[in-house]
Homo-oligomer: A and B are copies of this chain.
Amino acid sequence: MRILVVNVNTTASMTEGIAGAARQAASAGTEIIGLTPTFGAESCEGNVESHLAALGVMDAVLKYSGEFDAVIQAGYGEHGREGLQELLDVPVIDITEAGAALAMFLGRRYSVVTTLDRTVPLIEDRLLLAGFDSHCVSVRASGMAVLELEEDPRAAIDAIADQAAEAVEQDRAEVIVLGCGGMAELGETITERCCVPVVDGVAAAVRLAESLVGLGLSTSKVRTYAPAREKKLSGWPLGQSATAESAPSDSAAPRPA
């Protein structure tokens, strides 16, 4: 089974980290392919960047020439999963939703901890739309940016673990869902301090994708995610104009789904 794990931002080293985490979580026999969008933000932390990511991820998948069995969108709170589900016939999993879903099997209430305060609304909106919000007691932010994580990882980890501790004590969370990536030690630190399970969205998404593929299940095509109607699209797929690939960008192109 081959799963595409698509980073929402353009930083290739992050894609490596995400793909590595995915590989660690994957079952034997699952191949993980990390994809990086060719356009968008180096790190996604806001609404415009989220909209760019939606297209960047779809574009990266459309340009991928190999076969694949499932797609994971690897970002916390970004738009775009619905588009992928419409576009593709294989299962699509967003890591924000995957982490929440597994958390709901591990405890009565969960919290998401993330970095910047400005990504909290994006994560909340994702959970609300996906219907995994009712057991989420809080989405908390440490106030440190994604890139700061790399500069002072220990401080970043402590700041997020502080939020996790407050989530457990004050918000009555029983499970912590990570709403940010890239830190191997973060989960361990939180588990040690708070004695609660910590769910990493990437790992959760890999297992959920494997589950759906293994059961022969994929996205329903009867209404919301039915294949797009044939029509004239301009400038899409975007990657085509950017990379000067063959098809004219201004035609009624065939869609994968």
- Quick one: CB contact mask for A14-51 with B, threshold 8 Å, 1 for yes? 00000000000101000000000011111101111111
Q: A39-B236, A102-B211 are in contact. Are A58 and B51 (CB under 8 A)?
A: yes
Q: How far is the CA of A85 from the CA of B50 in the complex (A)?
A: 13
**Is A2 an interface position by the 8 A CB rule?**
no
Q: Mark the stretch among A151-159, A167-175, A178-186 that contacts chain B.
A: A167-175
B-contacting residues, A109-135, CB 8 Å: 117-118, 120-121, 125, 128-135
Q: Of B27, B225, B235, which one neighbours A39 at CB under 8 angstroms?
A: B235
Q: Of B46, B108, B222, B235, which one neighbours A168 at CB under 8 angstroms?
A: B222
Considering residues A48, A117, A133, which has the most beta carbons from chain B within 10 angstroms of its beta carbon?
A48
Q: A104-B132, A131-B104, A207-B211 are in contact. Are A46 and B223 (CB under 8 A)?
A: no
**Is A101 an interface position by the 8 A CB rule?**
yes
Do A42 and B231 touch (CB < 8 A)?
yes
> Of all chain B residues, which has the CB nearest A252?
B42
> Of all chain B residues, which has the CB nearest A205?
B105
**Is A106 an interface position by the 8 A CB rule?**
yes
Could you say which residues of chain B place their CB within 8 Å of the CB of A134? 131, 133-134
**Is A91 an interface position by the 8 A CB rule?**
yes
Q: Of B172, B211, B226, which one neighbours A223 at CB under 8 angstroms?
A: B172
Do B195 and A215 touch (CB < 8 A)?
no
- Quick one: CB contact mask for A203-217 with B, threshold 8 Å, 1 for yes? 110011011101101
**Is A192 an interface position by the 8 A CB rule?**
no
Q: What are 9 A-B residue pairs whose CB atoms fall within 8 Å in the complex?
A: A10-B232, A47-B87, A47-B224, A48-B236, A128-B129, A145-B229, A174-B220, A203-B215, A238-B238
